[in-house]
Structure 1
Amino acid sequence: MADHLPKALGPLLREARTRLAAADVDDPTLDARLIVEHFSGTTRTQAIADPERKIGDNSIAAIHAALRRRAGGEPVHRILGYREFYGLRLLLSPETLEPRPDTETLVEAVLPFVKAMAKREGACRILDLGTGTGAIALALLSAVPAATATGVDISAGALATATLNAGQLGLGDRFTALQSDWFEKVSGRYHVIAANPPYISSGDIGNLQDEVRDFDPRLALDGGVDGLGPYRIIAAEAARFLEAESRVAVEIGHTQHDEVTDIFRAAGYGLVGAFRDLGGNDRVLVFQQGKP
């Protein structure tokens, strides 16, 4: 990758796109725009209205470094340090999974229940297992002012990121971070237990897209020999932490609908909702204790 980048915004964007296209990046136009705008502090409107706008040397150097990282396979949002999720800007760290649009399906699946519970009880307590960036909990808190959430993660680094995100979004007073191996340190009772657990079987990790395998934390991907280990833990232990008529919502791999349903059914739960993602794949299951 040649060292010299144009200093005018329009040509800079074109050169960035050309370099990423040459590196076989999936969407070179979008990624070039994200990188240039982020590190130059410019907007799409400025690029159109003022393509000859000069960009400073420090910004050029930062853009150059970012383009090299992206061409080397690092996901663009890892380079930027944040990802948009459900309209919220969430900071990322090496210890967090990068939240993806598929997981917004889980937010949508439980949001009506959270709203109804908050309206009926004046509160809704949410337990987000494996919270990572805090994505699920914070999306629900942003939509329901009466809700509170505890975000559980085994990783101290992930919890530090989630806490930072909660504070930056003005949700820090309703979000509690708890370092725990699943339910180990959890106390109290909740109206909703939500989780996007690791659900890739250990043997399949190597077959994942490079951007996932090489940059998402393995701890957040590996679901054990058959990819179902975390669901067994949640199904076996959640009951002690649930209020009456509460819900358990889990994200699943697109082939796991029947197995996960069977695991929860054996533990005394009934399936009350199944939701597909934007690609039409099975993505979220919602359970309630005692339902047939």
Structure 2
Amino acid sequence: MTYRECYEQGCCTLQAAGIEEAALDARLLLEAVCGTNRNDLLVHGEQPVAPEAEEKYLNWIRQRAEHIPLQQLTGEQDFMGLTFNVNEHVLIPRQDTEILVEEVLKELHDGMRILDMCTGSGCILLSLLHYSNDCEGLGVDLSAEALEVAGRNVLKVLTPEKAEHVHFLQSDLFEKVEGKFEIIVSNPPYIASAEVDRLMPEVRDHEPRMALDGTEDGLEFYRRIIAEAGQYLVSSGMLFFEIGYDQGQAASELMREHGYREVQVVQDYAGLDRVVYGTYVERKN
């Protein structure tokens, strides 16, 4: 088949399967297989596609039609101007989470220690280290498979010099964590259990439920992290969370109850609550 014929067949298959952005996904998958760009469809549409590339492309299209996420097929996702490895063991980095990274960067200074709780692919921590100097980072996750992905991403996005200053730890939240940090950041599971089954099939069926399910009300991991984080923050250290659109008030109140001051809720580009952060003030007896 020609390049254009492959694309058109991919579009038809994905449209018939009800894929929301069928034309875009068909093009992106074809570009990933052939190493081409968006102009090739216009300029070189009549060029033949090598048989092995055609076979790989149509196989990917069949899998995408089964609602397997595009990023899991290509194995990559862009985030904060960087490209990360992803698979079925980690959440796919989302543009909304860039708001969290941007807010942390406003407070991040050279030489700080950062703890990324529920690190997943490592995209938050590694982005922070990439865009800062002489900082040290620890990424924590319960999933060994997720930490394997994070480890592969280290040299993918960091220089060898910066890579020496990042470590990953398998732990149930703070269970095995030691030391103090200037910044703790987390994108924890925050979707209420009953809502997980209502998510689009790409998320519900193919991303790790343990990274999505925030138990009955979606707030359990905020409660646990906020209750313990103060023990691991230096004086006037800061705690940052990504939150769901309806969790700003609840998360803010939890932080204030545990000694955080100057608590702020930041909205995303759609005007929805997306980040909450505050400064820890140690309580005196």
TM-score range, shorter chain: over 0.9
Deviations along 1:106-160, one digit per CA (max 9) or x if unpaired, are 001111111xx21xxxx01110000000011011111113222111000111001
1:215 — aligned with what?
206
Residues 126, 149 of structure 1: 8 Å contact kept: yes
**Gap runs ≥5 in structure 1:** 1-6
Find the counterpart in structure 1 of residue 9 from structure 2.
15
Unaligned runs of 5+ in 2: none
Q: Which residue of 1 aligns with 2:95?
A: 101
Output the amino acid matched with 2:115.
L
Preserved CA contact (<8 Å) 2:252 2:264: no
Match of 1:111 in 2: 105
Amino acid at match of 1:144: S
Aligned partner of 1:38 among 32, 42, 57: 32
Distance of 1:214 and 1:73 partners within structure 2: 8
Q: For 2:150, which of 162, 165, 171 is the aligned residue?
A: 162
* Structure 1 residue 73 corresponds to structure 2 residue 61: no
Structure 1 residue 168: Cα displacement: 1.6
Q: Which residue of 1 aligns with 2:19?
A: 25
TM-score by length of 2: 0.94
Give 1:200 shift.
Answer: 1.2
Q: Is the 8 A contact 1:93 1:157 kept in 2?
A: no
How do 1:220-259 residues align onto structure 2 when only pairs under 5 Å count? 220-259=211-250
In structure 2, what is the Cα distance between the partners aligned to 1:147 and 1:264?
25
- What's the offset of the Cα at 1:55? 1.4
1:4 aligns with: none
Residue 140 of structure 2 corresponds to 152
Q: In the aligned structure 2, how far is the partner of 1:42 from the partner of 1:191?
A: 43
- The one-letter amino acid of 1:125's match is R
User: What amino acid maps onto 1:252 in structure 2?
Assistant: I
DSSP-derived class of the 2:261 partner: strand
Q: In the alignment, residue 215 of structure 2 is paired with which amino acid?
A: G
User: Aligned partners of 2:165, 2:23: CA distance in 1, in Å?
Assistant: 39
CA-to-aligned-CA distance 1:155-211 (integer Å, 9 cap, x gap): 111001001011222353222111111011111111110000001122222122211
Which 4+ runs in 1 deviate beyond 3 A? none
Deviation digits for residues 226-285 of structure 1 (CA, Å, limit 9, x no counterpart): 111111111111111111221100011111111111111111112433211122110100
Distance in 2 between the 1:212 and 1:94 partners? Answer: 10
> When the two structures are aligned, how many residues end up with a matched partner?
279
Match of 1:192 among 157, 180, 183: 183
Give the superposed CA RMSD.
Answer: 1.4
Residue identity matched to 1:13: Y
Matched, 1:134 2:122: yes
Q: 1:145, 1:50 → 2: CA distance?
A: 44
